[in-house]
């Protein structure tokens, strides 16, 4: 059994998860963060984000130190931000693996609600008029930051346009 299969089999039912986990990794919030990244990607590439890149969004946006480094460098380029902030890479592969079940739940909710569509080529696209285009500024500073960084990450993934480059930037073998 792979690590991912083990992690998925260990997922507790929603009502048995600790309060903190239910709040931070809420499928609706994770779905919204993923949706914002997909929107950002589509600003540069209307074909949609490759599935393999979408799995990197949550570990970058929900991890506070990574999010803060990316937010501080959001006027620049993702590759330069990652180079100047090597702490983003520390433990990234493990975070990405740990976040997979929450990404799957977020995507499941987005699919159930008709907010995303999957192309034959495996790219994920947003469905127009299913979610607000802009970030709701009524949320907490942290939720707003997660969404803004997600848009930046999506936009930068599209600009880079090479999955291998993105993966190796964060220390993951493609």
In the 3-class helix/strand/coil scheme, how is 9-26 assigned residue by residue?
Answer: HCCCCHHHCCHHHHHHCC
- For residues 77-88, average pLDDT: 91
> pLDDT tens for residues 16-34?
777 777 777 899 999 999 9
Contacting residues for 24 by C-beta, under 8 A, at least 6 apart: 62
Q: What is the DSSP string of 95-138?
A: HHHHHHHHHHHHHHHHHHTT-EEE-TTSEEEEPTTSS-SS--TT
> pLDDT tens for residues 124-172?
999 998 888 778 778 889 999 999 999 999 999 999 999 999 999 998 8
> Residue 153 sits in which domain range?
23-169
- Residue 82 falls within a domain, yes or no? yes
- Residue 10 falls within a domain, yes or no? no
Percent of the chain with pLDDT over 70: 93
Q: Is the pLDDT of residue 2 over 70?
A: no
- For residues 80-102, average pLDDT: 92
- Residue 86 falls within a domain, yes or no? yes
More confident call, 76 vs 49: 49
Task: Give dist(CA 25, CA 150) in Å, integer.
Answer: 15
- Residue 3 falls within a domain, yes or no? no
Total-model pTM: 0.89
What pLDDT shows up at residue 6? 57
3-class secondary-structure state, position 161? coil
- Residue 12 falls within a domain, yes or no? no
- For residues 97-118, average pLDDT: 94
What confidence category does residue 9 fall into, taking pLDDT thresholds of 50, 70 and 90?
low
Domains held by the chain: number? 1
- Residue 39 falls within a domain, yes or no? yes
Q: Is the pLDDT of residue 74 over 80?
A: no
Contacting residues for 47 by C-beta, under 8 A, at least 6 apart: 119, 121, 123, 125
What confidence category does residue 5 fall into, taking pLDDT thresholds of 50, 70 and 90?
low
Lowest mean pLDDT among 33-37, 53-57, 170-174: 170-174
- Residue 102 falls within a domain, yes or no? yes
Return the closest-CA partner of residue 51 out of 130, 129, 128, 116: 116
- Residue 1 falls within a domain, yes or no? no
Contact 40/154 with Cβ under 8 angstroms? yes
27-62 burial, b if ≥16 CB within 10 A, otherwise e? Answer: bebbbbbbbbbbbbbbeebeebbbeebbbbbbbbbb
Q: Which two tokens stand for residue 93?
A: 């592969």
Give the containing element (helix H, strand E) for 144.
Answer: helix 141-160
């Amino acid at each position: 059994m792979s690590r991912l299969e083990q992690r998925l089999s260990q997922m507790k039912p929603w009502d048995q998860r600790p309060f903190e986990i239910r709040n931070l990794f809420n499928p609706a919030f994770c779905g919204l963060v993923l949706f914002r990244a997909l929107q950002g990607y589509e600003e540069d590439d209307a074909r949609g984000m490759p599935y393999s890149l979408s799995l990197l969004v949550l570990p970058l946006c929900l991890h506070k130190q990574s999010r803060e480094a990316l937010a501080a460098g959001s006027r620049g380029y993702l590759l330069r931000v990652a180079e100047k902030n090597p702490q983003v890479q520390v433990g990234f592969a493990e975070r990405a693996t740990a976040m997979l079940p929450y990404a799957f739940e977020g995507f499941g909710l987005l699919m159930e609600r008709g907010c995303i569509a999957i192309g034959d080529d495996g790219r994920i696209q947003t469905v127009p008029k299913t979610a607000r285009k802009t970030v709701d500024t009524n949320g907490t500073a942290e939720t707003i930051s997660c969404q803004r960084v997600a848009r930046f990450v999506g936009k930068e993934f599209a600009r880079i346009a090479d999955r291998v480059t993105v993966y190796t930037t964060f220390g993951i073998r493609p």
